[in-house]
Amino acid sequence: MEASQYERTRANVKRPENLHDLLAMMPEDDPRTFSRRKMLAGSAAAAAAGVIGGPMLQNASASPSGKIRPIRTNGQALPEDAAPVEKQIFIQPGNVTIAKAFDFYEAVYERVEPVADLFGDPLVRVNRDFAIQPGGAESWSGSEDGMTWTFKIREGNTWSDGNPVTAADWVKTFQYGADPEHAWDFTWFFQGVLKGWNEAIAGEITPEEIGVAVGANEYELVFTTEVPAPYIPAMMLYSNVLSKAALESSGPLYNSSVDTSVTSGPYKLTEYTKDVQAIVSRNPDYKGTQVVMVEQIVAKLATPDTYFTMYQNNEIDFMEGPAPAEVTLMQGDEATASEIFVGVGDFPTWYIFFDVTIAPWDNKLVRQAFSHAIDRDLLDEQVLGPNGTPAYSWLAPGFPASQREALQDIQKFDPAMAKDLLSQAGYPDGEGFPSQQMWLRAPTPLDKTVAGALASMIKENLNIDIELLEKDQAGFTAALNAKPTEIPLGYVRYGFDYLDPSNMLSVWKSGGRHSWSNPDFDKGLAEASAFLGDPAEREAMFQATERILVEDVPAVFVYHGTIAQFIKPWVKGAFREPDSNGIASLHWPGTKTMSTVIEEMYIGSDVPDR
């Protein structure tokens, strides 16, 4: 595509006059839905041919225009407008308050996010259309009953310590995740899915007894499930492999030190200064399928309120989730306005949640009153800008089974109704309502602004004072996961992990992330998740289940993220081109081996000296 055409396309996509224009590009009959369902039903594995990564750039060749451009010794040339090798460096900010680990199975919510999950291939990855692609596995198949899934591991890949990558590495990884002594912060993900997982995390059986095993040979990995699970291939996006040998010799934090780090991925750890920065460099010995052009990815660790200043000073190349004032400032200059992108991210929903087991939140009338006290349209117009669109339900527009419009009236803004419900609950005009603190998880500047607006709306419409309580990532997560939960009232986000309604809705199943429990919801979710019949019927089952959730109000759904991003013009590549829905952005999950983004990115010759 010519540059002028590209710029016109991008401008039309990423800078809409309003967010309803953007969301109109993602109708509920999303054209991607059919292919997703086929994938989730396990009909066929993608047959992507792998290109083997080669050594560092050492030579140069002439392009058709006569310009000299560098090539790798395997013959792969960088694009004609690429910067030289020594400038192929992509710099991102990382939240210093949560940057503790580099591996998904060590700590999901405390990773050094910009450079995490680059030291091994997951079994599958997704492209910018969120279509599943082979990763560490070259193929997979499911049994007729959907309860046994076999993955064929790609042969030939090795760890940097010389050991081959085999099914045993994945077995050890999953066993580590199920070990109650590890107390992984993401155990809920496989609850009720993998055989024996619930019992293992409860300490009733050993992690070695879960339904993950080496199959007929060392390159065959077999998963056994508790129920029919057509979504298993999609779940394996989160199968970032750890080295069995390194786990046993150096312990689970082996990747937190350059001296002990072991990689089989496209990058290796070359520098880590705690709370300052981490650098990963291209792994010349990588034998997987991801050919990367960026030589180094740098994570500069700082607090989110400093990201924009760093971006303005060209200290970083990318940031997302800017504060409203920062978006306004960027929009005010023609040059910087072209650096604004808007994407769907991981289809996240931000919401207020309640501990429904304690007063006053055990009273549904109170919860309903709160749901009708929030003016989401005003929030959209005055605060969110390109960062979100109003939420009246859990599943975001464009996500499979989304039905925002159909459920919109259940939690609509109606201050008169809110006051009446609160009065029926025994608190006329807020009288006698206990003082409340709303917990925020490591809030960004945007989170703080939105939470402040929500507290103001609750005060104005219900005459209830809400104090905002900022918590660090670790403290918030520990309190949320405690049984019983230690957070009476909170504000947080959640985004998808795999493209199936079973994933997003499972957040609300009994015993999961929140204290809410509803037998009808659990039954509907289980039946829809295991259903192997007509995809349209399965979708309708999920929609009926979501309606139960929205009507019982364990949460007030505030907005769906349409994440604003700032990307420097010298960060180039196919990742910037519109996806099948016309959305141009750096797509979730970003610069990780779970995504094709790292294959599609390079640094242009217009990058400044730094």
Confidence band of 69 (pLDDT split at 50, 70, 90): low
Distance CA 325, CA 446 (A): 10
Please enumerate in sequence order all residues whose Cβ is within 8 A of that of 292, keeping only pairs 6 or more positions apart, or say none.
Answer: 53, 266, 267, 282, 598, 599, 601
| pLDDT at res. 213 | 98
Q: Which of 74-83, 127-136, 276-285, 569-578 has the lowest mean pLDDT?
A: 74-83
Per residue in 295-331, pLDDT (tens digit) is: 999 999 999 999 999 999 999 999 998 998 999 999 9
Per residue in 9-52, pLDDT (tens digit) is: 223 333 333 333 433 433 333 322 323 333 333 323 332 322 22
| pLDDT at res. 452 | 97
Residue 188, class by beta-carbon neighbours within 10 Å (0-12 exposed, 13-18 middle, 19+ buried)? Answer: middle
Neighbours of 151 (CB within 10 A): 28
| Position 482 pLDDT exceeds 60 | yes
User: What's the average model confidence in pLDDT over 584-593?
Assistant: 95
| pLDDT at res. 581 | 82
Distance CA 128, CA 388 (A): 20
To 10 degrees, what angle do helices 415-424 and 364-371 make?
170
| Position 91 pLDDT exceeds 70 | yes
| pLDDT at res. 67 | 53
Q: Architecture of 124-250 per CATH?
A: Alpha-Beta Complex (3.90)
Neighbours of 416 (CB within 10 A): 9
Confidence band of 73 (pLDDT split at 50, 70, 90): very low
CA atoms within 13 A on the CB side of 189: 23
pTM: 0.81
Average pLDDT, the chain: 88
- Evaluate the omega torsion of the peptide bond into residue 578 and state whether it is cis, within 30 degrees of 0: no
Per residue in 434-469, pLDDT (tens digit) is: 999 999 999 999 999 999 999 999 999 999 999 999
To 10 degrees, what angle do helices 535-552 and 519-530 make?
160
CB 167 within 8 A of CB 218: yes
- Give the angle 14-20-23 at the CA atoms, nearest 5°: 65
Distance CA 500, CA 519 (A): 21
CA 126 to chain centre: 12
Question: Can you say whether the dihedral through the CA atoms of 53, 56, 57, 58 is positive or negative?
Answer: negative
Please enumerate in sequence order all residues whose Cβ is within 8 A of that of 520, keeping only pairs 6 or more positions apart, or say none.
Answer: 548
User: What CATH code would you report for 349-561?
Assistant: 3.10.105.10
Distance CA 492, CA 351 (A): 6
Residue 202, class by beta-carbon neighbours within 10 Å (0-12 exposed, 13-18 middle, 19+ buried)? Answer: exposed
Strands (E), 307-372: 318-320, 340-342, 349-354
CB 297 within 8 A of CB 92: yes
| Position 70 pLDDT exceeds 80 | no
Read off the amino acid at residue 194.
L
Query: How many angstroms separate the Cα of 356 from the Cα of each of 187, 364, 485, 555?
Result: 22, 8, 10, 10
Please enumerate in sequence order all residues whose Cβ is within 8 A of that of 113, keeping only pairs 6 or more positions apart, or say none.
Answer: 94, 95, 98, 99, 299
Distance CA 134, CA 126 (A): 8
Least Cα distance to 229 among 199, 197, 207, 183 occurs for: 197
User: What's the average model confidence in pLDDT over 490-512?
Assistant: 94
Least Cα distance to 536 among 400, 388, 357 occurs for: 400
| pLDDT at res. 580 | 87
Q: Which sequence spans correspond to the domains of the chain?
A: 124-250, 349-561
Residue 15, class by beta-carbon neighbours within 10 Å (0-12 exposed, 13-18 middle, 19+ buried)? Answer: middle
Higher pLDDT, 483 or 178: 178
